[in-house]
Structures are given as structure tokens and as C-alpha cells.
Amino acid sequence: MDTIPSYLDHAHLGPWEVFLEQVDRVVPHLADLGHLVETLKRPKRILIVDIPVKMDDGSIKHFEGYRVHHNTSRGPGKGGVRYHQDVTLSEVMALAGWMTIKNAVIGLPFGGAKGGVRVDPRTLTRGELERLTRRYTSEIGVLIGPDKDIPAPDVNTNEQIMAWMMDTYSINQGRTVTGVVTGKPVALGGSLGRREATGRGVFIVGRSAARKLGLDLAGARVAIQGYGNVGATAARCFAAAGAKIVALQDVTGTIHNGDGIDLDALQHWLDGGGTLGRFPGASAIANENFWSVETDILVPAALEGQIDRHNAMDIKARLILEGANGPTTPEADDILTSRGVTLVPDVLTNAGGVTVSYFEWVQDFSSFFWTEQEINERLERILSEAFESVWKAAQEHRVTLRTAAYLLACRRVLEARQLRGIYP
């Protein structure tokens, strides 16, 4: 049976191929649910939209947008929207698939969805960005809704983008619908702690993994690729636990300081208009040398496909925490496993964001909001329990943590599929 959709290039499947390989690796462990696995290899629905935008100079430009529902057997779709000039349908499909797994592995009542627009938002004025966002929201309005599909921020989108999306959907509905998106400003029904949730989750999961490995965070060396919201929050959390942030990388370059980078000084530098790559409190090194830095913990928190067969042998970390979605290729997975490196997969490590998005969704429905302390306590409990379940499954089945996470998640999704049946 052909599992490759006709609308993809069979010779160059992109990130969707990685997702398919990850699902295939868990099939031998699915027992009586294995016959349903094909449902995970086909997105439930895909919408491709044209987004005409009137630019400030009076011209009209057209942008391509996507919204993908991968699986909704366990609940409404949930997943972010990314704005990037290189986003593809294959990428959005894979991200939606990873959201299905992520929501299931931590036990949230959501399916997997994802959205994207092929645009470099840095080239747009604020007005153009708003018009693009509102038109995109209107175009995908047939798919989204608080009980259908709930978007959230992702790469190059933020609280303001979510505010525009919520407002546009609400205007089209004729009433205020705060629960249609998460990651909103607190003033519009957003949740306390949401902005830091993904990075905080990376730390919570990383701390649990370090305990299993007997790795003391006090004095541990940490290298982080990506210094946006996720990477910066994770860095601050690890530093607060006594770890040393020895290397950082973003689009402006790579810096290293074996004694630990002063994060307060770095933030002051960035707030003043400086770039990470030119921070005077650390040494600039070649980007490719980031992967060979002497470190105990490595956090890829940028984009997918960063750790591959070319650099997996160079990595010296004992523990890898996938802060980004899909940063490690299957080939690199195998290399790292053979070298005894413990890798905690993205579907668990970076699940803090969707967990607090779930809290936001629940709070919007009830119009009753929790304190930030309550949010953080609930986040820690859910992620810690999920990590313990994945670790236990990995030990029991003698598989990697990624395969263990997929095993638990796929079983939950396919059990729901089996119980619901096929209609008609």
C-alpha cells in the first residue's frame, strides 16, 4: 500500500519522511494495534490557501499558506503557526504529525495540527504583517475553532500575531472567542507562564533525565543552539540550577566560554542592539565547531534537521535535549545511540508550550484563571510524570527514549481510533 501522498515529491519527501521513519520504528511494538498504523501515515486533512496582501506601496503580493490536521482521534487539533520563507507542505505535515505524538505522550486531550505561511516576516511592515495574518486567519477559518483546531505561536509568530488571529476569527463569528488560539497576551485571555513554558519544560525534562544519568546540574556544562524564546528561557533555568552555559548559537554566529557565559551581560548586550555572535563576553567560533564543543548537555532549540550523520560523531555531550521540533535525523539517532548518548526527543522535551497552551484553553472556557505558581506546578507535574512513563517504557522494551515515546503515544492514538471505529 502506497503511503506517500501524490502531492509530495516521492524523491524528496523532506521532513515528512523523517516522521514516517519514526512511526515505522515503533510498529513492531504495537501488537494488536499495528494494523491501524496506516492512519498515522496520512494527514486527516490539508488546506492550502492563497493569501493576497495589499502592501504599503499599493501593490498586491500573494503568499502561500497551509493548515494541516494530522489526526483528531483524541480531540481537536492543536499546533502552532510558523512564518518562514522556506516553510513547505512536507514540513507542516511533519510538524502536525509530531504534534499528534506530543499531545498523546503527555496525555493532553488534543490531536495534532500545524500551520505555516511562506513569508519572511522581517521584510514586512507591521501593517503588512497584520493584514497577512488577518487574511490567513480568514482563509483557514473553516478549519479552526475552540472545539475544532486551536492554533498557537511557533517560529516567527508571537502574542501579537495570536491577538490578531483571535480578533479576526471573533469578528467573523460575531462574538469574542478567546479560546480559538493560545499563546495570546494575558489581557486577551492568555495564560501566565505561557511565554516561558517551552523553555521551562526543556529544563524540567532535562533535570529528570540528568537525575537518571547521575549527572549533577551544578557545574554541568550546557550548549544551546538557538537563542530565541525557548533557548534563552532554558539557558536561564539551567544557569539558575548552577549549570554553566558554555556555548550558544543563533543566526548571527556561535560563541563559547568554557567558564560559562554571563547571561545577564549577554541580555544587556542584546537589549542594546548587539548581536549574539559579537558578544564581547565570549569567544566567537565557527558555526560548525558548535557541535564539537566540550559539554555535558546539548540543547538543539532552533530548526529541524540540525543533527545529522555529518556531525553526530562530533558531539561530546552525554545528554541531548531536543528543544526544537525534529532537530535530529534518523541516521543521526542511530549514531548517537551507538555511542551511548542519551537523547530525550522533541515530543517530550519541548512539550511545555503545548501543556500551558492547554491550561490557557481550559482557563478561557471557564473564565477562571490560575496564578503563575499554579501554572508552573501543574506543568512540572505533567512533564515529570510523562518523562517517568517514557523512561519506564524504554527500559521495559529496551528501546530508545524516542521509540518509547512513540510507543506510548501511538498506542493511545490508535486505541482511540479503534474505539471510535471507521464511519460509515
Q: Which residues are catalytic?
A: 114
* Rounded alpha-carbon distances, angstroms, from residue 84 to 81, 101, 324, 390, 396: 10, 23, 15, 32, 40
